[in-house]
Amino acid sequence: MLFTHFGISGPIILSASSYMSANEAYKLILDLKPALSDDQLDNKLILLFEEEHLKSIGKVLENLLPKKLINMFLKSINIDYYKKACDITKFERTAIINNLKHFDLKYDSLRDIDEAIITAGGVNVKEIDPKTMESKLVKNLYIVGEVLDIDALTGGYNLQIAFSTAYQAAMNIE
Ligand SMILES: Cc1cc2nc3c(=O)[nH]c(=O)nc-3n(C[C@H](O)[C@H](O)[C@H](O)COP(=O)(O)OP(=O)(O)OC[C@H]3O[C@@H](n4cnc5c(N)ncnc54)[C@H](O)[C@@H]3O)c2cc1C
């Protein structure tokens, strides 16, 4: 997952977007530390706070988060970036763990259709002969790739659809 200048992106977001529709409202909750349970995170924080007790909480969190995220992360739970690690209360530590495991992002919208990587919809595959890619409705009309009502998750499958259907048509056009 990528944080970008407009919001979030990357393969997991592109895949998630294929299950979303433009007019729905969504909640976006990120687990920023999926490999660690709440208890493991608590132990890690206690250890970090002991080792770096004179540093600010903002600096200490560099061990766990990308630098640019830390300010926003702490603001969302009302903890001062410059508060010393040794002054962080148990209550605040719990809030940090909760925020790491359930980081709430406001969903605004999907990106514009112009930026879509693949779009669902298109010519119904039932109307196409899969051996030749010729239309069953219009003779000598071959339909391949993105124009077909086939779409897949990101990962090369859409290019494969374009290449394979184009090959099939090219080998059969008379
Ligand atoms: C930013 C981006 C990233 C992507 N990343 C991936 C990826 O990582 N993996 C993956 O599998 N897929 C990816 N895709 C999807 C993949 O590129 C498409 O599914 C695939 O290119 C579709 O191939 P196509 O030949 O059917 O259509 P296109 O590649 O769209 O080709 C259609 C061609 O027709 C031309 N054309 C349009 N109208 C006319 C006209 N009237 N007359 C003449 N020519 C016309 C267009 O200029 C274009 O060259 C990505 C797409 C985008 C936009």
pLDDT digits (tens, 9 = 90+) for 65-103: 999 999 999 999 999 999 999 999 999 999 999 999 999
Closest CA to 145 of 164, 128, 170: 164
Can you tell me the distance from the alpha carbon of 146 to that of 144, in angstroms, rounded to the nearest whole number?
Answer: 7
Whole-number percent of the chain with pLDDT over 90? 90
| DSSP secondary structure code for residue 12 in this structure | H
Using 50, 70 and 90 to split pLDDT, how confident is the model at 161? very high
The model's pTM: 0.77
Beta pairing partners, 129: 134
pLDDT recorded at residue 174: 81
pLDDT over 90 (residue 124): yes
Total Cβ atoms within 10 A of residue 109: 10
Q: Which atom of ligand 1 is nearest to the CA of 145?
A: 26
pLDDT recorded at residue 67: 95
SS3 128: strand
To test ligand 1's pocket by mutation, which of 118, 128, 153, 165 has the most ligand atoms within 8 angstroms of CB? 118
pLDDT over 90 (residue 129): yes
What does the block give as tokens for 167? Answer: 């090959």
To test ligand 1's pocket by mutation, which of 159, 160, 165, 167 has the most ligand atoms within 8 angstroms of CB? 159
pLDDT recorded at residue 119: 86
Over range 111-130, report the average pLDDT.
Answer: 93
pLDDT over 90 (residue 4): yes
Average pLDDT, rounded, for the chain: 94
To test ligand 1's pocket by mutation, which of 117, 119, 128 has the most ligand atoms within 8 angstroms of CB? 117
pLDDT over 90 (residue 23): no
Asked if residue 117 has its Cβ within 6 Å of ligand 1, the reply is yes
Can you tell me the distance from the alpha carbon of 144 to that of 27, in angstroms, rounded to the nearest whole number?
Answer: 36
Over range 141-166, report the average pLDDT.
Answer: 94
Closest CA to 88 of 44, 36, 45: 45
